Structure 1
């Protein structure tokens, strides 16, 4: 089994705070990502959403479409309404060969609100759980029937953030709901990626690698700062530049025959963290970690 290495355009231009890298064209993101050594990109807000337009652009750069974020609103609309809402996104992913959809329930989320501290992350009531789970199952079943699996993204500042919330989500959803394991978001919420990988090995269908600068995370928590302030202060960085130990995680992925994408998704201020420099660092470190773990890479 082997993995492919991809990157998210957050390295160059930020979706939650568009002023970060706002002047950076898509061409720069793609050319520098390829130059850094990556085989594919996730979607960002500067990407065309018509597969007829985007496909040739990616092909010209020798890149594949990895996946793309979808903002779910299942707490406020039915599964049928959600399916209708996601069809264009699903069509784009399916048309360009992506096998997973990055899905996150964003009702009441606060990660895009700079003035709202992470301590105010929304929590699901019992009624909320009873609403979310069957609707998510239904949406995930539909996507899987279309050839694209939901990869649920636990995310700081959303209703599925903590290890306990991830555990309940995995226990109560059907196998059609895959898990996106995000190292930075998990550590930021008090979890352990190695423990999570072992626990949910058969559900993990996508992996995001962002590292954590431990002292910045501590400062964000101690001063009760927001997610965006954490990003601006340098809480996240590329794998190998923080304190997360990736080799045991990758050994676990190898043992479980994981064969999906491993994606650098490390939002920083591009004016502070030079994008090409950090993209190269992230790719080189991922290759080193894979080699140490015996995890094969394909282009």
Structure 2
């Protein structure tokens, strides 16, 4: 089995800043994503959340549902409370045939606040790693019993952002917890996606492929910008249009026999970065990198 190439609707409409692409119909996102060459989409806020509604829409566009973001709060909730809270999302993913759930701990997060510099994000309470790891593992064991594995998404503006924090999470959780490697977020956080992938390649079960414009990232850091303002300034772009070493990363994934989705997820302002143009560019680069690495 080879990898599949998917895309997140953030290219057309932003979930954290709905004014970006707010008037773009879902049909346009799906039409253009398919035209660009992608086989599947992740969920976005324009998608219906009932499988009987979503299945025929995706079928008409010859697309699969890849996965979808879930906002976890296991630092505040019990495992039982989280399991109860996740049911609508989990049942949708199951019904749509998804194999992974994008899970991010959002307790205290600031990535959706345009007025908050990303430097003011919450820090993970060091004394709670063992407890949190046990909770997340138990939660992931439950979702896995339902046929869907947790793919933990390290994310700017949250308690788990840096390489060291991802290492700690992996060290304190069991194999039930997979790792979503996001090339752009780990680079933004000062890390190296190849180093992270090399350490945890056997745990990686989902990959978000975004690139970084290094000069704009430097400016964002110098100005102590918020995550959303960094997005608006153009920090992120599609694979092959920035500084991330995708050929090197994909060699690591090939050696680890990775067989999941490679998802273009590049938050940009669609009024500046024409969605179909960038979706096509991202697909073509991603396909070439994956083929050269033997992943396709």
Please give the TM-score of this superposition, normalised by the length of structure 2.
0.99
Please list every run of at least 4 consecutive aligned residues from structure 1 whose deviation after the TM superposition is greater than 3 angstroms: none
Q: CA deviation at 1:177?
A: 0.4
* Cα distance per residue 1:205-258 (max 9 Å; x no partner): 000000000011101111100000000000000000111110011111111110
User: Gaps (5+ residues) in structure 2?
Assistant: none
The aligned residue for residue 89 of structure 2 is 89
Q: What secondary structure is seen at the aligned counterpart in 2 of 1:202?
A: helix
* 3-state SS of paired residue (2:3): strand
Match of 2:174 in 1: 174
| CA drift at 1:194 | 0.9
SS for the counterpart of 1:251 is helix
Question: 2:67 matched to which residue of 1?
Answer: 67
Q: What is the CA distance between 1:127 and its match in structure 2?
A: 3.8
* Aligned twin of 1:289: 289
Q: Is the 8 A contact 2:79 2:139 kept in 1?
A: yes
1:67-146 equivalent positions in 2, closer than 5 A: 67-146=67-146
Deviation at 1:126, TM superposition (A): 2.6
Aligned-pair CA distance for 1:137 = 1.2
Partner Cα distance (1:86, 1:67) in 2: 14
User: What is the aligned partner in structure 2 of residue 27 from structure 1?
Assistant: 27
Q: Deviation digits for residues 36-70 of structure 1, max 9, x if unmatched?
A: 00000000000000011101110110000000000
- How many angstroms does 1:21 deviate by? 0.2
Stretch of structure 1 that moved more, 122-131 or 171-180: 122-131
Paired residue for 2:246? 246
The DSSP-based 3-state class of the residue aligned with 2:241 is coil
* CA drift at 1:174: 0.7
1:127-276 equivalences in 2 (<5 Å): 127-276=127-276
How many pairs were matched up? 296
Describe the SS at the equivalent of 1:208: strand
